[in-house]
Amino acid sequence: MTSLRKSRTHQSGQRLADSGRRGVSKQEPGGGDCSSRAKTCPALLLRLRLGTALTSCCEVAAMRNPFLHAVVAVCPPNQGIGKEGSLPWPLLRNEFKHFQRLTMTPTVEDKKNVVIMGRKTWFSIPEKNRPLKERINIVLSKELKEPPTGAHYLSKSLAEAIDLLEDPELKDKVDLVWVIGGSSLYQELMEKPVNQRWFVTRILQEFECDTYLPEIDLNSFRLLPEYPGISPELQEENGVQYKFEVYEKIV
């Protein structure tokens, strides 16, 4: 897997150099401007907007779901998500099961979902639980040279991670792509002009935090009135009330 990561970094850089990423349209091997076809190829549009390398529409067609997904829990008043590398609130077992169900359950048989996370998020997971089982774990870091022990892949950026998923070793295995933190990665995704769905657990009680999620811009996102499999009912565990919300951004 390490050799694959190094190979992909080289190939991605070579393709970007060959295509003249700025100011030159991206051409398919058989001719035709991929940019002009993006409107009818959502997966291609996703990669164009993330700034990943391209080879052909056929290559990106394997990316069946043109959405990126994020899952996060936040508490008031400032959308706190963490405290000293841990969750600020007591263990909420059913909420954790909700996270597991979302990120572990593919929509296509014999495929796996991907979880993408920053280095700090990876090391905040108890060692015995790393990697997150039944999911392909990708860690993002500009400092690390090799995947941390237990991680399946290492990428320098979100765009590079998405590009990695088109490698022949992975593209037939991958279904949904989930971003699971931390704060800077959430913010990066939020600002990307790509289709995305955010599955938010809104904790209805204040807890002391030192890490925060930016406010979801309702000019870009819309709160869905309902979503299959997501309970609209108020939840409560350990004296903590919370509710599930789903936001969607279509570009």
Active-site residues: which are they?
87, 95
Does the bond joining 193 to the residue before it have cis omega, within 30 degrees of 0? no
Question: What is the rounded CA–CA span in Å between residue 138 and residue 164?
Answer: 10
**Among the residues of the chain, which ranges form H helices?**
2-19, 34-37, 42-50, 57-60, 93-104, 119-124, 158-164, 183-191
Tokens of 186: 């959430």
Question: What is the rounded CA–CA span in Å between residue 146 and residue 103?
Answer: 24
Question: What is the rounded CA–CA span in Å between residue 154 and residue 146?
Answer: 7
Question: What is the rounded CA–CA span in Å between residue 113 and residue 178?
Answer: 7
